[in-house]
Amino acid sequence: MRPLLPVVSLLALLSAPLNAQVCNLGITVTCEPQGSASRCTAVTTNNGSTTCSGFFDTGFEAVQGTLSNYNSGLTGAQCFDSSIVPGQTTAPIVLCFGEGTLAPGASLTGTVNASGTPAQGGVLAFTAVNDTFVYAFANATQLTCTPTAAAPPIAQSGSSYAISWTQTTNPQTQYQIDESTTSDFSSNVTTQTVSGTTASFTHAVNANTTYFYRVRATSCGGSAGAYSPTVSTVVQAPVVVPSTSKGADVVAPFGSTQPITMQIFIPGPSGKAGSLDAGFSATTDKPYLTVTPSSGTIPPGGTTVTVTANPATLHPGAHTGTVNVT
């Protein structure tokens, strides 16, 4: 919500001369992060073809918070803030006044630090001279140095997965991402520095293993930023279905489109053919399942095929499929 311009009542205290010159003024205001505050700059420009002279009132108003370190750009100006009129307004205001002159095309620049102002709240800049009053709004911007990271809850052994994070205030910064097998990053820590907001990882494991991640900006507000909250991914070991088992279960997180694999062991031929290779073919009864290799030979010691399930087209819930080996 924009301020309701209570500053107008303050400006009314400073009366302009009757029949004063009307100036053709324009004003712009921008706010940039500076530490934990915003540094707002207002530029008032004489857009007319004649010199604008008179008694200037110029300043800033915010929705809430505090305004400090104000510079009006007026030589010899007197300044005050809203504390001199307690109860008249709940919005912080700074105001300076004094005699000034703006030639055609000339500008008057004022600056202020806005602290505790919501990013979507706004800062109002204003200038009044004689019978002319101009103002402009800008959203305050807060320095954001701590990214928020995201990780897939589950990944498959040997498959690539991505850790992503939000961008901080400095678009030129790189990011340091730490990986560990402990949540306090005390063991098996690896670190890499990357540009952008994503990094890929691949791990081949023999047992389900949890990997923890944290990210920070290498440069934000003049130094490295704070680490993001820790996120984690469980890398699942390959599922091997022995010949003595009728099947196996593999869990995929909701919304996952990453293929899931399991391995099925096919024993070698028995009886008199046990010392010979035997040909085989493997098929599935579901379109989301594939077998690799789908045909070949089985040596006396047996062989292993890989079954891949693609969950991209599956609705939430349990799904079963059968692999037939001939």
Residue bearing the bigger pLDDT, 183 or 63? 183
Residue bearing the bigger pLDDT, 111 or 34? 111
pLDDT tens digits, one per residue of 137-147: 887 666 678 89
Q: Where in the chain is the domain with CATH 2.60.40.1510?
A: 7-138
Q: What is the pLDDT of residue 11?
A: 46
The domain made up of 149-236 has a fold known as Immunoglobulin-like (2.60.40)
The reply to whether omega before 242 is within 30° of 0 (cis) is no
CA dihedral sign of residues 26, 31, 34, 36: positive
Distance of alpha carbon 255 from alpha carbon 316, whole angstroms: 8
Q: Classify 277 as helix, strand or coil.
A: coil
Domain 7-138, CATH class in plain words: mainly beta
Residue 300 has pLDDT above 90, yes or no: no
Residue 18 has pLDDT above 80, yes or no: no
The domain made up of 239-325 has a fold known as Immunoglobulin-like (2.60.40)
Residue 14 has pLDDT above 60, yes or no: no
Q: What is the pLDDT of residue 35?
A: 63
Residue bearing the bigger pLDDT, 89 or 166? 166
Distance of alpha carbon 263 from alpha carbon 307, whole angstroms: 6
Summary mean pLDDT of the chain: 83
Of the candidates 265, 215, 258, the one whose C-alpha atom is nearest the C-alpha of residue 234 is 258
DSSP assignments along 138-183, one per residue: E----------EE--SEEETT-EEEEEE---S-TT--EEEEEESST
CA angle, 181 then 258 then 265, to 5°? 85
Residue 213 has pLDDT above 80, yes or no: yes
Choose from 18-32, 90-104, 263-277 the range with maximum mean pLDDT: 90-104
pLDDT tens digits, one per residue of 149-201: 999 988 888 888 999 999 887 778 899 999 999 999 999 999 999 999 999 99
Burial class (CB in 10 A: 0-12, 13-18, 19+), 303: middle
Mean pLDDT of 100-108: 94
Q: What is the pLDDT of residue 9?
A: 42
Q: What is the pLDDT of residue 6?
A: 46
Q: What is the pLDDT of residue 254?
A: 73
Q: What is the pLDDT of residue 271?
A: 61
Distance of alpha carbon 3 from alpha carbon 186, whole angstroms: 50
Q: Classify 130 as helix, strand or coil.
A: coil
Residue bearing the bigger pLDDT, 231 or 237? 231
Q: Where in the chain is the domain with CATH 2.60.40.10?
A: 149-236
Q: Do 262 and 248 contact (CB within 8 A), yes or no? A: yes
Q: Which two tokens stand for residue 244?
A: 């003595």
Band of pLDDT at residue 205, cut at 50, 70 and 90: very high
Residues 6 or more apart whose CB falls under 8 angstroms from that of 95 comprise 7, 10, 11, 57, 58, 59, 79, 80, 81
Residue 66 has pLDDT above 60, yes or no: yes
